[in-house]
Structure 1
């Protein structure tokens, strides 16, 4: 019988604990406006329940309300009130503990046991890799630039020698860190709007020499992607890669219909390695932006995040297939004289997938290694090649709105007959009509030496900061246009324009930055095709037919017609509305109705403010009333000499405290923004 009683007591305790846990977790979520973790809610519930039970046992014994055997010696209502108030205040205690925990360590900030167990091995791997990267940086002389003291609080500029040393150390560190970091350095070298010419030129020399993966691993990856043996799909498949990069490698193959194709295969294990390297890169970028002045000025966290997004897209070859087809469509509508001279490979969608891309093979040599091929053309022919490539790029940016965003020399092929091929459509930018027109106006302003129009178009394209000195920016743009016209700005002209607006504090939208990056990377490719080629002069010449197509009378007529069609219903209703307005004025029925809180954000702000004020007043009143009731003398009795007023005061204090906790949550979380 005693064992059954003990079992029942344990069962009651277990049920009470479970009920307390559920009540505490559910109501705390409601009070705090955010889910509280079940683990911490369970622990706090267990501790507060244990503390409440101990306090109840001690209180009953101390007041003589229970004998040595645990039997009650007071009226049942008194015992019930004592039990209810004890556990109610234990609940308040637990709620306060959870409030403090949520303020200090919000739910989710610390991983749960299962998530921590899963991430332990990954974390150890990342930590070892992170330590390795730091050691590589220190070995190449970057240790001083990575310390917290590297803040340059006095605002002094870095000397040219120190800048060159920093650039070389950064290049060597990225080179030794591995292929993902090499690729990051290559992408970083195109951001001449953020980097100095010394750093950008040094990073541009990075080369990603990646040894090819073993053929057995590549074959297994191809079979897994196709779901069939290689021999069933291709009549020929070269085991030697045509090119090898950090994410994938390219092999030459032949289809049963005789077409020669290139097969881009994602390297086995590339996705896992990239995820680890990107995690390290993000961690490294956060440290640099936190601890160093140059890291904050450069915005390395935003750069690392953008690079991670780009690399994630590259890991999905379906996106590259979509981009390739989109650019191929723009080539078919390219300006006269460039059709057939600049080509984009076709895509076999039936064979392509997430980790496999099958493309038409383009014959040719990358411009960066095509000295022998280009030597066969005279100066006029090479200038014509550069003009053709520039015309296609401008047509993509201004007319099509879909453009190749990374036209560096490695992504442009030159064939023996002068055909230009575009490769690697993993990075493609897209511009809407307002941005395309803005860039067109900018080019027209540059062509006409109109600094005012050029400045206005830049401000329309960009996001100027508050308090921008537009006149000062206009003068700087005018000086730069004079350099363009005189031919003095022969190096990185678009990069100089980009740097000018960013130095003025203008934020550059991502799609506009991609367009500027296209021109910046294209500049070096054009000068390899035709040494001394003037990008600004070439852009003036090549953009005229494209801009003419955008601003022809027919195009303007179509635009006006589209807008009028949209306004037609309103135009039809306008006379009736005017008649109604005049009639109301004549008959004195005209009224003006103002709705000051029509905006949902304003209503939410006022509602939250009123809720906080009312909750504060009610909570304060409840606590004050509770104190008065608890110190009041006399009044009705609950039984055995226990007055009702103190019991009611304790209950009212419980309600006021819970409401006060909610007020504190409002205060710490803040009101909704208007």
Structure 2
């Protein structure tokens, strides 16, 4: 940790200063980063957590993350999905996070492309538009035309963004560790796991080879569907830092809201939008994680185009089954099924009170039991489920939260186009299909054989594991591991008390020394030192030592 502090000291200081600026100085002090502030800021800053009340906590967190830059903006966007752990008002504020970035200048863009392909831009494209289509904190996109005549969008990663993000991720790991040692809620919600999830997500988003692979899978999946358009990837013009795809240009969502253009029926568009998304999630197993209006285009004949697959979710067969069971459990009013499904879907805490949790599931079940599909809004269902899991400190994996957020976004889109369309009504056939597939004899036999194989395989390892355990017990090598999460906090308290005692003792010592010198000067006999200003020198030395001790204690943040 000390090495990281030294290596990234300037960035640590920036982060700590911004935390204090937006009213989170008490966290800085609690986790022991107080000393990273300059002395003037240590003196004038508010560390009580009661100041800076002009804005809501959600607005302050959003402004803070925007000021800290691209890594923290992306972290906020990830956390905006986690309504299972964050209050809705904070999550809502973070959904409004914006990338305030200046586009990369054209010459830098062209240099970046040339470095990637070993050729100047003019040799790669017959036309390359220097004005970017869109600019974000990680990348920006440009319109271009290949030598063979295809119109393409070229997505270029910003120079040096990898270094910035990797450094910030290291710091986030450090901060997560400090926060977990200090706060119970941080351990409950496993902040380190969130940082790990975030680091994987942002590294995947920066890897355009991975995005190209995902786009190709969905392109192939919808290849025989004339109503869904997924851009083609041009592999020969794509690398880890540059991605080239078909340029898709159609009607924007806002144009459908103001009045559908000729050849477009909003009702049909809504149905196809929902079904195409459910096809992705529940059949293909890969779904667009951010289907907002900017990532959708519409064409005559009620065709829909998806772009930007940097953020995608994945559902395996077990996850698809669990999601279907969750909806079925709600609609059938089966609390036990809901409990088993949520247990399978999530990470249940060791200290979960099952009786209270099941009581809350009963309330949730009664709310939706026997309610017609047309009267159930998927956004409200997901919100209620997240509220129950949050209450019991149950952590929901990223792919489920991403699916929930995407469904809520879709519901918002279709509601503005056609209020009579209901996602759950359209999803019902998918649930039935998953149920039929699960009850298929071949699927049941396959599952039985796999479970039987696991039982036999694990049983074979029991004797050796038992022998090792008994051997360790016999030799006295058994180790007991204890976790004392509050130990560091208690040590900090002891350190603070020791500093105060040391300060008091030194102050008393200085007072005694000064008193002796004053008495000696007043009542002592004359000597060779009579002409030397002993009192002035002594006072100066004492004050100098006093300031050094005071400054060292004060800068430790534990006074």
Give the TM-score normalised by structure 2: 0.71
Q: How far 1:263 moved relative to its partner?
A: 1.0
**2:86 corresponds to 1:195:** yes
What are the residue-to-residue correspondences of 1:112-511 with 2, within 5 Å?
A: 124=6, 126-148=8-30, 165-292=56-183, 295-332=186-223, 339-364=225-250, 370-377=253-260, 381-415=265-299, 418-466=302-350, 467-469=353-355, 471-481=358-368, 487=375, 492-508=380-396, 510=397
| Residue 205 of structure 1, CA deviation | 1.3
- How far apart are 1:540 and its partner, in Å? 2.4
| Deviation (angstroms), 1:126 | 1.8
- Per the TM alignment, residue 418 of structure 1 is displaced from its structure 2 partner at its CA by 4.7
1:46 aligns with none
1:171 touches 1:203 (CA, 8 Å); kept in 2?
yes
* Aligned-pair CA distance for 1:357: 1.0
Relative to structure 1, is the Cα distance of residues 244 and 451 closer, same or farther in structure 2, using a 3 angstrom cutoff? same
For each residue in 1:228-278, what CA deviation from the matched residue of structure 2 results, as whole angstroms up to 9, or x when unmatched?
A: 222222111111111112221111111122111111111111111111222
User: Are 1:164 and 1:199, in contact at CA under 8 Å, matched by a contact in 2?
Assistant: no
User: CA shift at 1:219, angstroms?
Assistant: 1.0
Unaligned runs of 5+ in 1: 1-108, 111-115, 151-157, 334-338, 570-594, 613-665
**TM-score of the aligned structures, taking structure 1 as reference length:** 0.60
Q: How many residues are treated as equivalent by the alignment?
A: 454
CA contact (8 A) 1:324 1:347 kept: yes
Cα distance in structure 2, aligned partners of 1:533 and 1:288 = 46
1:497–1:596 CA distance, 2 compared to 1 (3 A): closer
- Give a deviation string over 1:485-542, Cα, whole Å, max 9, x none: 595868543132133234334443x3xx41342232331343134329789x833222
Please state whether the residue corresponding to 2:440 is helix, strand or coil.
helix
* CA pair 554-144 structure 1, distance change in 2 beyond 3 A: closer
How far apart are the structure 1 equivalents of 2:302 and 2:7?
Answer: 49
Residues of 2 paired with 1:483 and 1:382: CA distance? 30
1:599 aligns with 2:485: no
Deviation at 1:294, TM superposition (A): 5.0
1:514 alignment partner, one of 383, 392, 399: 399
Distance (Å, rounded) in 2 between the aligned partners of 1:402 and 1:450 = 29
* Paired residues of 1:146 and 1:291 also in contact (CA < 8 A): no
Alignment partners' CA distance in 1, 2:317 and 2:369: 29
Paired residue secondary structure (1:273): helix
**How far did 1:197 drift?**
1.0
CA deviations 1:98-157 (Å, max 9, x no partner) are: xxxxxxxxxxx98xxxxx7xx7xxx5462211211221222222223544299xxxxxxx
Q: Which residue of 2 aligns with 1:523?
A: 408
Contact 2:377 2:422 in 1 (8 A): no
RMSD after superposition: 3.8
CA gap of 1:668–1:449, structure 2 versus 1, over 3 A, is closer
C-alpha deviations, 1:632-669, integer Å up to 9, x for none?
xxxxxxxxxxxxxxxxxxxxxxxxxxxxxxxxxx5778
Maintained 8 Å contact 1:163/1:199: no
Q: 547-556 or 491-500, which moves further after superposition? A: 547-556
Change beyond 3 A, Cα 1:287–1:376: same
Over 3 Å counting, the alpha-carbon distance change for 1:420 and 1:526 in structure 2 is farther
Distance 1:313 1:374, change over 3 A: same
Counterpart position of 2:430: 546
Q: Are residues 124 and 215 of structure 1, via their aligned partners in 2, closer, same or farther at CA, if it must alter by over 3 Å?
A: farther
The 1-side partners of 2:337 and 2:280 are apart by 23
Computing the radius of gyration from Cα coordinates, the structure with the larger value is 1
SS in 1 for 2:275: helix
Alpha-carbon distance change, 129 to 541 in structure 1, aligned in 2, over 3 angstroms: same
For residue 383 of structure 1, report the CA deviation from its aligned partner: 4.2
Secondary structure, aligned partner of 1:377: coil
1:324-381 residue CA offsets vs partner (Å, 9 max, x unmatched): 1122233347xxxxx3333221111222121111111111466xxx424431229x94
Q: CA 1:452/1:606 → structure 2, altered by over 3 Å: closer, same or farther?
A: closer
Query: C-alpha distance in 1, partners of 2:441/2:471?
Result: 49
Q: Contact (CA 8 Å) 1:401, 1:431: kept in 2 or not?
A: yes
SS where residue 30 of structure 2 aligns? coil
Q: Which residue matches 1:56?
A: none
Conserved 8 A contact 2:267-2:417: no
In 2: Cα distance, 1:499 partner to 1:554 partner? 29
For structure 2, the residue ranges without an aligned partner over 5 or more in a row are: 33-48, 454-458, 483-559
Say whether the 8 Å CA contact 1:443–1:539 is kept in structure 2. no
Q: In the TM superposition, what is the alpha-carbon distance from 1:220 to its structure 2 partner?
A: 1.4
Residue 500 (structure 2) aligns with: none
CA distance in 2, matches of 1:320, 1:555: 35
